[in-house]
Amino acid sequence: MTIATWTGIRPGSSALNSTVATLVPSPTPDGRRGGQNADMTSLRDAHVIITGGSEGIGRATAAAAIARGARVSLIARRTDALRAAATELGPSCDWATADVADRDAVGGAVSELVERSGPCDVMVANAGYALPGRFWELPPDEFRTEMEVNYLGAVHAVAAVIDGMRQRRRGHLCFVSSTAGLLGVYGYTAYSPTKFALRGLAEALRSEVAPDRIRVSVVYPPDTDTPGFALENEVKPPETAAISATVKPVQADRVAAAIVRGIERNRITITADPLTATLARGAGLLGPVLRRTMDRQVRSAQTVL
């Protein structure tokens, strides 16, 4: 979901340009923006491990990383989907099965991949899912399950590689959050907290691993055209659908390109569109405005019902 959905501000409008100019720092003479490290990271010959890599953003990120010369390893639950993805991506792609909610399974999968393809240089903690629904309508266990997959799954992925990165004094940890990790959204009471948690983890971890020259990034994709998003659309409450209905989802390739570019440029915050970038840099200022707008959209949808 994007700011245009919530505020009605058209992309390219003077109002949006003014907001972006206020909240997004202008490039410095060397082309960098605030929160971006000066040094660059090459993905050529790097070993990139991606959880949730069999489809959607993970699979697209694998393709983008391979195009930059990386060796890529995918981790996901379904053997058939992993095998199909690896076949399509070619000889630079390896894979191993694991449920990211199982710490031991993730550790075993990473060990297997490292043995075959070398130490992990970049970990992209991408695995996750959402089951939209009103708080009181969701199964009680759903909150625990989404936290185990979306948040603890990332913790387990990092735990499997961080010792090696610290010993080598290099590496990059990339967490895939969501626009719903910047602003809570109606119908995502189970999902949004898991994505907010990733942001907090990344910010705290960044300080801890900085002396070891390990970089940390957080990605905030907007609505993205993936198989998982299609499943969400089948069960979204009408109010949730109304909030996002005015904006066309971005393609996974676009998000993947932003991820790879952000990793190479050591960006702390990675976004795939200027509207989400504005929210990421100015959520504290924009939050009240966006919440009021969403409340109006929810009331309008409920009136129709």
Q: What is the pLDDT of residues 49-60, one digit of tens each?
A: 999 999 999 999
Q: What is the pLDDT of residue 2?
A: 40
pLDDT digits over 227-272, tens only?
Answer: 999 999 999 999 999 988 878 899 999 999 999 999 999 999 999 9
Q: Which residue has the higher pLDDT, 193 or 295?
A: 193
Distance of CA 246 to the CA centre of its chain: 22
**What pLDDT is attached to residue 23?**
42
Does pTM top 0.75 for this prediction? yes
Percent residues over pLDDT 90 in the chain: 73
| DSSP reduced 3-state for 30 | coil
Question: So what's the pLDDT on residue 34?
Answer: 38
For the cut 90, the answer to whether the pLDDT of residue 113 exceeds it is yes
pLDDT score for 153: 99
| pLDDT for residue 134 is more than 50 | yes
Please state, in angstroms and as integers, the Cα–Cα distance from residue 292 to each residue in 7, 18, 165, 288, following that order. 9, 20, 44, 6
pLDDT (0 to 100) of residue 247: 82
pLDDT at position 291 is: 59
Interval 5-28 mean pLDDT:
42
Is 280's pLDDT higher than 90? no
Summarize the confidence of residues 270-286 as an average pLDDT. Answer: 80
CA of 144: how far to CAs of 127, 194, 234, in Å?
A: 16, 10, 22
- pLDDT tens track for 35-53: 444 466 789 999 999 999 9
Mean pLDDT of the chain: 87
Q: Dihedral sign for Cα 141, 131, 82, 90, please.
A: negative
User: Which residue is associated with the tokens 């972006």?
Assistant: 20
Statement: residue 170 has pLDDT above 80: yes
In this structure, of 58-67, 86-95, 170-179, 271-280, the range with the lowest mean pLDDT score is 271-280
Task: Quote the CA–CA distance of 218 and 269 in Å, as a whole number.
Answer: 5
Instruction: Give the pLDDT confidence score for residue 296 in this predicted structure.
Output: 72
In this predicted structure, what is the pLDDT of residue 129?
98
What is the per-residue pLDDT for 48? 99
Helix axes 274-304 and 14-23, enclosed angle (nearest 10): 130
The catalytic residue positions are: 177, 191, 195
Q: Cα separation of 131 and 75, whole Å?
A: 21
Mean pLDDT of 288-294: 62
Domains and CATH numbers, the chain: 38-304 (3.40.50.720)
pLDDT at 294: 60
What distance in Å separates the CA atoms of residue 205 and residue 129, rounded to the nearest whole number? 23
How many angstroms separate the CA atoms of 256 and 273, rounded?
12
CA gap 85, 90 in Å, rounded: 9
- The yes-or-no verdict on residue 274 having pLDDT over 60 is yes
Q: What is the arithmetic mean of pLDDT over 6-31?
A: 41
148 has pLDDT over 50? yes
Q: With cut-offs at 50, 70 and 90, classify the pLDDT of residue 17.
A: very low
Q: Between 10 and 175, where is the model more confident?
A: 175
- Exposure string (b/e) for 56-72, b if CB count within 10 Å is 16 or more? bbbbbbbbbbbeeebbb
